[in-house]
Structure 1
Amino acid sequence: MTIKKYALENENQNEQNVPEEKSTFDWKKRLTNPWFYVGLVGVVLTATGANPEMFTSWSILIAEIKSLLGNPYLLGTAFLALLGVLTDPTTKGLKDGEKHEDSH
């Protein structure tokens, strides 16, 4: 009985000493980086199957956008591509890593 009591006390103590992890997603850092937009445009155009003819007139562009919105597969691949650009590959999950100050 005392072993269980000790284990429970030890478990509670360990939970109290563990720092709480903050889930952060630094939008400001991404939105001020021009390479973010290059990657974003590239993967979205590729995932949606865009071709140069789509951008030759407004009527063609509107028709292609309607076609895209009616195609669950293309919407799904565009979402996955967007998620791939947004996600920090150096961390687990969708959060960003620790903020590091530049020494410049």
Structure 2
Amino acid sequence: MINWKVRFRNPVFLWQMALAFFTPILAYFGFTAQDLTTWGSVFILLGDAIQNPYVMLTIAASMWNAINDPTTSGIKDSERAKRYTEPQ
């Protein structure tokens, strides 16, 4: 079990997830953040990414790496982390 409540209160985790989502998209299409100067270009890029299975798989792998805690077995938080009510 993952302590989602605490993770979503942690700004570092939120940035990890945002980067895990956007970095594979930018890398695959050869863009940088400076190339996305209008909302229209952002939505077009997201639409192209969603239609591409390879990009979606790299996003999933990237997010898996951000979520998974390699210090525990399986997909779960440690017993100590499950008891947190605030990020430590």
TM-score bracket for the superposition, by shorter chain length: 0.7 to 0.9
C-alpha distance in 1 between matches for 2:61 and 2:52:
14
Q: Which has the larger radius of gyration?
A: 1
Q: Unpaired runs of 5+ in structure 1?
A: 1-23
TM value normalised by structure 2 = 0.77
Alignment partner of 1:67 out of 26, 29, 48: 48
> Identity over the aligned pairs, expressed in percent?
27
RMSD: 1.8
**1:47-102 residue CA offsets vs partner (Å, 9 max, x unmatched):** 12252212x11211111011001110000000111111111121011111112568
Alignment partner, residue 98 of structure 1: 79
Alignment partner, residue 32 of structure 1: 9
After TM superposition, the runs of 4+ consecutive aligned structure 1 residues lying more than 3 A away are: none
Q: Whose RCO is larger (CA < 8 A, sep 6+)?
A: 2
Aligned residue pairs, count: 78
C-alpha distance in 1 between matches for 2:75 and 2:25:
23
Q: Unpaired runs of 5+ in structure 2?
A: none
Alignment partner of 1:48 out of 15, 25, 29: 25
TM value normalised by structure 1 = 0.66
Instruction: Say which SS state the counterpart of residue 69 (structure 2) adopts.
Output: coil
Alignment partner of 2:39 out of 54, 58, 64: 58
